[in-house]
Amino acid sequence: MPEVRMPTEDTPYGFDEKLAFIGKVLSVFTHEMKNHLAIINETAGLLGDLVEFGGRGGGEFDKNQILKTVRDVELQVKESSSMVTMLNRFGHRMDHPVSIFNVNDTIEELTALINRMISQRRLSFELNLPGGVSMVEGNPSTLQLLLFRIISDIMAGLAEKSKIALITRQDDDTVTIVCKPVGEKAKSQPVSALTQPASQVSANHDPADLNQRYKRSSDELGALVTKSSDGVISVVLPISNTKIGPLAGDITSPGASPVDKPVE
């Protein structure tokens, strides 16, 4: 059982930022789940209505419609369960301060959990996460925080119906995550509680500002963050040199817990 660290005088710098990030993920997730439950509630209610109103009319029940409705409930429950699995994995990422993890998994989790935040701005993710990317060593939740800030900054500068592309690439001894705005720029910077605290700073910050903004997380990860003139932000992570056996990390079965291997 991992030790739970509560804020103290010795609380590490950045603790509040991580709490705010977790709070944002939880608020987006619970909103999403409330919608899922509302759909399940209405679909189950419709099932009752079909029986009640069909029976009341003296006619036969529409079996096909009833079966379709039952299937809709099953599908919705599966979708909700998948979201819960993502949140469970997200939580377990914080079990160990340093571990060896799969970058693509952390991106998939994060984007699933904050997808509603993006879709509320009428934006969408475009993921290109090829298999075979090496494991990296560090704190996966710090990487997710860093990506969240980058995504929030890109989101603040994009017009509706644009995309945020996330691409991973394996080089000799590094894994690069490319975060790329795809589409038109926003005419004005939207001010939204959804993007706080990341949007408190303009998305068009200069490179020095950029370094400051992402410095804490990138230092912790030993990562290099760069931004090109066209707004593409790249995060370069060193691959893990720790020799490990086959990890359960490559298991993608639904419901599997996170599989980061702690580094002693």
Can you give the binding site for other proteins, defined by CB under 8 A?
30-31, 34-35, 37-43, 45-46, 49, 53, 72, 76, 119-122, 160, 193
CA distance 236 to 135: 13
Residue among 29 and 148 whose Cβ is closer to other proteins: 29
Q: Which is nearer to other proteins, 30 or 200 (CB)?
A: 30
Edge-to-edge strand ranges of the sheet holding 174-182: 124-128, 163-170, 174-182, 233-238, 224-227
Report d(CA 152, CA 120) in Å as an integer.
Answer: 13
- Smaller CB distance to other proteins: residue 30 or 204? 30
Shortest gap between Cβ of 84 and other proteins (angstroms)? Answer: 17
- 35/252 with CB nearer other proteins: 35
CB of 137 closer than 8 Å to CB of 10: no
Q: Select 2 or 45, whichever has its Cβ closest to other proteins.
A: 45
CB of 139 to other proteins, least distance (A): 31
For the chain, the distance separating the N- and C-terminal CA atoms, rounded to the nearest angstrom, is: 15
CA distance 101 to 89: 12
Q: Which of 160, 178, 182, 159 is CA-nearest to residue 169?
A: 178
* Min CB(33)–other proteins separation in Å: 9
Side-chain half-sphere exposure of 170, counting CA atoms within 13 A = 13
Of 31 and 78, nearer to other proteins (C-beta) is 31
The CB-of-57 to other proteins minimum distance in angstroms stands at 10
Least CB distance to other proteins at residue 152 (A): 17
Least Cβ distance, residue 49 to other proteins (angstroms)? 5
The alpha carbon dihedral of 125, 126, 132, 133 has a sign of: negative
Q: Distance (Å, rounded) from C-alpha 25 to C-alpha 126?
A: 19
